[in-house]
Structure 1
Amino acid sequence: MASLKYYQVTVFVCGWISYASTYCLRKPLGVIKADLHKFMNLTTTQLGWLDTALLFPYAVMQMILGPVGDKYGARKTFGVCIILSALSMIFFGYFSNFVIWFILLFLNGTAQSQCWPNVTKGVLGWFSDSVRNSMFGMFGTCAFAGGIIGTMIAVYIQANYGWRQVYFYPAAGMIFLGVFTLLFFKQPDEVGIQVPGREAADSTSKSASATDSEKPKMWDLWKLPMIPEVSIAVFCLKVVRYCMYMWLPMYLLQALNYSTTMSGVFSTVFEIGGVTGSALIGFALDRYYKGQTLRGIAFFVLLSTVGLVLFMLTSSWGVFFNSVFMFMAGFFNAGPDILLCGTVPAELVEKHNKNAATATIGLVNGFGSIGTCIEGPIIGAITAYTGWAGMFYLMIGLSACGTLATYKAESIFRRINKPTTDFIAGV
C-alpha cells in the first residue's frame, strides 16, 4: 500500500507539473500579439493564422497519432513529446519571418498533441473508478494553473527582456521536465502494481486484448454512444476557452484601455476561475450528481454561458465587475471541459478495451481542439469587421451549443438506462 501511495503521488505530481509546463509554450503567443502587431506590422488576420499554426496540428494529430501512446506507453510518449515541443520553440525569437514562425508553431502543436491523451491515461491508471471525477478534477487544474503561470512568465520576460525572449527560457526549462517525465511518470504495469478498484477493468482489458488483436479505428470509436455529442460539447467549450486565452489580453488593451502589463496579468482571472472550477466541480459531481455526471456538466456549462453574457453586458462597469464575471465564466467552463475530454471518454471504452483509452481521449479532445485551431482567423476576421462585440456573441452562442450537446448526451444515457460499460459495442 505504501508503494502504491508513493507512485500515485509521484505520477500525479510529475504529470501535473509537466503538463502545466506545456502552457508556457502556448500562452506567450497571446501575450506578444500586440507586439507582433505593433513592431512586426502583422495584421489581425495574420495573428489569427499564427493561432491556427499552433492549434491545427494539436487538434488533428491527436486523432491521427492517437494509437501512438497505446503502442509505446504513456510515459515514453509524453516525455518525448515535451522535449520535442521545447526544441521547436527555443529559437522562436531569433527569427523575424511570418512563415518561419508559422512552421515552428506547427511543430510545437504537433509535439503537444500527444501530451494530453497520454498524461490523462497515465494518471487515470493509478486511481480507482470511484474517485475519478474528484481526482481528475484536481489534476485538471494543471491546464489552467499552467495557463496562469505561462502568462505570468511571458509577461515578466516581455517587460524585462523583450518579446523575443518569451519562448527561450520556458523552452530550456521544459527540456529538463521532459527528462524528468521519462524517469518518473511510470505506469502500474511497468512497476508490477495492481491498483485496487481496477482489477475488473484490467482483467476485462486483458481478455479483450487476447481476443481482439486489432486496435479500433477512429470511425469505430466515433460510432460509440455519446461520443459525437461529447466531442461537439468539447469543441464548443474549447473555442470559448482559447478565444479568452489568445484574445483577451488584446481586448482588455484596446477595448477597455488597460495597460499592456495589466491586460496580460488581468486576463488570468479567467484562468484563476478555471483552476478553482476544475478543482471543485469534480467533487460536486461525485457528491451531488452520482450516476448523472453529464446532467451536472450540462448545468455548469449553462452557468458559464450566463457568465459570458454578464461579462459582455457589464464590461464598461470597471475592474470589479470584469473580475467577477470573467471568474464565473472560467469557473464553469474549465471543470466541464476537463472532464468531458478526460474521464468521460475514458469511461466509455476503458473497461471494455484498455487499448482504446488513449485513442478515444485523443479523438474527443482532438475533435474539440479543431475549434481552437479555427478560432484564430475567425476571431481575427470578426473583430476586423464587427469589432470586439462580435467575438463575445460568438462565444456566447458556442457556449449555449455546448450546453445543448451535453444535455443531448445525457438524454442518450438516460434512454439507454444502463451502466456505460454494458452498452459499449464496436470497439
Structure 2
Amino acid sequence: MLFREVTPLRWRQFVTFLLGWISYASTYFLRKPLGVVKTDLEVILKISKTQLGWLDTALLLPYAVMQILLGSIGDKIGARKTLGICLILSGLSMVSFGFWSNFYVFAFLLFINGAAQAQCWPNCVKILGEWFPDRVRNSVFGIFGTCAFGGGIMGTALAVILQTNYGWRNVFALPSSLVVLMGFAVLLQFKQPTELNIEVPGKESSKSVPGSESKLNYFQLMKIPMMMEVALAVFCLKVVRYSMYMWLPMFLYNELKYTKNQAGLFSTTFEIGGVLGSFGIGFVMDRYFSKCPLLGTTLSAFLSGITLVLFNLTSHWGIFFNNFFMLLAGAFNCGPDSILGAAVPSKIGAQDGRNAAAAAVGFVNGFGSLGTVLEGPIIGLVSTMYGWSGMFYLMIGLSLFGSTMVLKAAHTQKSQEKNAIFQEV
C-alpha cells in the first residue's frame, strides 16, 4: 500500500530529473565542438586566434543577453514549451555548420545557437525546483548540476571521435540531431506538478499562485539583496570556466605538446572535476552549511584560484600533475555553479509569492554569461600579447575576486536573518 502511495510522486521526480539532466547535458553537444575544431579552423581555413575568440563571442553574447532580457518567458508561457522549442531551434541552427568555410556564416549560426540555448538552463531549473522539497534543494541541484559538466565531457568526447574518424566538417550534424530529438522529448514529458495535479510536500519557499506571471523586470531583479553579488560571482567563475572550455585543448596542444587527440580528451579532466565538485557540493552545503550555503561556495571559489596557481606552476611537470590540478580546478570552479546559478536565485525568485524563479535564474546566469562573452576576444588578445601565462594570471585573479563577491552575499544574508529575528522579537 505504501509503495503505491509514493510511486506517482517519486516516479515523476525520477522522470523529471533524468529528462532534465539529459536535455540540458545535450546542449553542450553544440557548445564543446567549437573548442575541439579550433585548431582545424586555424590551420585549414586560416582563421586567426582573434577571430576564433570572436566566434566564442558569437555564441555566448546572445546566450547572455537573451537570458537577461527574456528570463521571464518561461514564467509566462510555460517552462516546458520554452525549453522544448529552444532545444529544437538550437539543434537546427548547427546541423549545417560543417558545410561552410566562411567566418561570418560560422558567426551567424553560432549566434542563433546561443540565442536558442539562452532559455534552457532557467527553465530546467524552474521545473526541477518545483518537484523537490526545500530541505533537499542544495543536494538536488548539486547532483543536477553535473549535467553541464557531464554534457561537456560527452560533447568533447563525441566531437573528438567524429573529428578523428570523419574530419572536422562532420563534427556537428549528429550532435545537432540528438538535440532536436531531446527537444521533442521535453515537449512531451517534461511537465510541472500543476500540469499533472500532483502536490509536492515540503515546498515552503514557493507560494505563488498557479498561472500567475512574474512582474519583475531585470532592473527590479538587480535591486533584490544579494542578487548582484551572486551575479558578479557567477560572472567571474564563468569567465574562468569557459576559458578552460574553449582554450585548454589548444593550450595542451601548442604549449605542452600533447597530440591533437590527447589535447581533446585530456581537456575533459577539468569537466570531470566539475562533475565531482557539483555532485559533492550539494551534500556538503546541506550537511555543513545548511543555514548559509554561500559561505561554503566562498571557500570553493577561493580554492579554485589557488589550484589554478598550482596548475600554472606545474604545467611542464608532465601529464600526471597537469591532470591532477585540472581535476581540482574543475571541482572547485564548477562545484558552486549549481548553488549560485540555480538554488540561490531560484529560491530568491520564488519567495514572497513571486513567480519569478526562471527570471531570477535567467538574470544571474545571463549576467554571469556576459563574462563568457568577454572571454573569447580577451583571452585571444591576452594569449597573443602575454602568452599563455597571462591567460592563467587573469583567471586566477577573477577566481579570487569572485570569492569575495560570494562572501559579501553571505554577509548580506546573515544581516537579513538577524534583522528578521529582531523584528520577530
User: How does the TM-score come out when normalised to structure 2?
Assistant: 0.96
Separation in structure 1 between the aligned mates of residue 278 and residue 346 of structure 2, nearest angstrom: 17
Shift of 1:353: 3.2
Equivalent pair of 2:205/2:347 in contact (CA under 8 Å):
no
Alignment of 1:33-48 (within 5 A): 33-48=38-53
Question: Partner letter of residue 166 of structure 1?
Answer: V
Q: How does 1:28-427 map to 2 (within 5 A)?
A: 28-198=33-203, 200-202=204-206, 204-206=207-209, 209=212, 215-418=215-418
Q: SS of the residue aligned with 2:335?
A: helix
Report the CA distance between 1:337 and its aligned residue.
Answer: 1.7
CA distance in 2, matches of 1:321, 1:400: 22
Task: Measure the CA separation in 2 of the matches of 1:171 and 1:247.
Answer: 22
Q: Distance in 2 between matches of 1:259 and 1:371?
A: 30
Cα distance, 1:201 vs. partner? 4.1
Please give the alpha-carbon distance, in whole angstroms, between the structure 2 residues aligned to 1:317 and 1:136: 36
C-alpha change, 1:208 and 1:69, in structure 2 (3 Å) is closer
CA displacement at 1:335 relative to structure 2: 1.4
Identify the residue that residue 14 of structure 1 maps to in structure 2: 19
Quick one: distance in 2 between partners of 1:206 and 1:11?
A: 22
Which runs of 4 or more aligned residues in structure 1 lie more than 6 Å from their structure 2 counterparts after TM superposition? Answer: 419-423
Give the Cα separation in 1 of the matches to 2:272 and 2:297. Answer: 19
Output the CA distance in 2 between the equivalents of 1:75 and 1:337: 23
Q: Give the secondary-structure state (helix, strand or coil) at the position aligned to 2:224.
A: coil
**Unpaired segments ≥5 residues, structure 1:** none
Specify the code of the residue in structure 2 equivalent to 1:302. Answer: F
One-letter identity of the residue aligned with 1:375: E
Asked if structure 2 preserves the Cα contact closer than 8 Å seen for 1:351 and 1:421, the reply is no
Q: What is the distance in 2 between the residues matched to 1:403 and 1:183?
A: 40
Deviations along 1:204-260, whole A, 9 cap, x unmatched? 322995xxx771111111101110100000000000000000000000000000000
TM-superposition CA deviations, 1:77-131 (whole Å, max 9, x none): 1111000000000000001111111000000000000000000111111000000
Render the CA deviation track for 1:152-178: whole Å, top value 9, x for unaligned: 000000000000111111001111111
**Maintained 8 Å contact 2:38/2:52:** yes
- Over the aligned positions, Cα root-mean-square deviation in angstroms equals 1.7
Contact map agreement 1:208 1:352 (CA 8 A) in 2: no
TM-score (norm 1): 0.95
Cα deviations across residues 31-61 of structure 1 (Å, max 9, x unaligned)?
0000000000010000000000000000000
Compared with structure 1, are the counterparts of its residues 420 and 119 closer, same or farther at alpha carbon in structure 2 (3 Å cutoff)? farther
Equivalent AA in structure 1 for residue 394 of structure 2: L
C-alpha distance in structure 1 between counterparts of 2:122 and 2:40, whole Å: 33
Tell me, yes or no, if the aligned pair for 1:75 and 1:181 is still in contact at 8 Å.
yes
Unaligned runs of 5+ in 2: 1-5
What is the identity, as a one-letter code, of the residue corresponding to 1:396? Answer: I
